[in-house]
Amino acid sequence: MKTHPAVAFLSSLAALLVAFAFVGCQQAGTLDVPPKFDGNPPLPIYPEDMKNKGLTDTVVVQFVVNKDGSASQAQAIQFRYPEAAKAAVDTILRTHFIPGMKNGMAVNCTMRLPVYFNLEDVEEQPPRQGNVVR
């Protein structure tokens, strides 16, 4: 049974909430508490042209989770289709996070996160991981 692409996106991003493998932050040392999604992340908008052609992509976005939980400085660093890269960056910039903590203080943290554009069944998708950049 095929899953609607929007549901697959939400499922993929929700899985990231559980599967994040935070390995550090751009500040010296590691975080006491890594950033995490503040509620449900927004759905990426699957580019219509890609969806009509059956194209899939995995876009890796590097961005900063700011002390206030907003995302900034987002850029696609790995992708096949520019329209997927733009949609992934737009999605990350709409996402609100609970910031990472170091010594009881919120800190800015550079992260990398994959955003999946996949028309396959959700059950067939591999586990997803994101990470914080040192």
SS3 content of the chain, % helix, strand, coil (to 5): 30, 30, 45
pLDDT at residue number 44 = 87
**Parallel/antiparallel/unpaired status of strands 100-102 and 105-107:** antiparallel
pTM over 0.85: no
Angstrom distance (rounded) from CA 123 to CA 115: 17
Domains of the chain: 5-132 (3.30.2420.10)
pLDDT tens-digit series, residues 5-62: 444 444 454 444 333 333 345 543 578 888 999 988 888 888 999 989 999 999 999 9
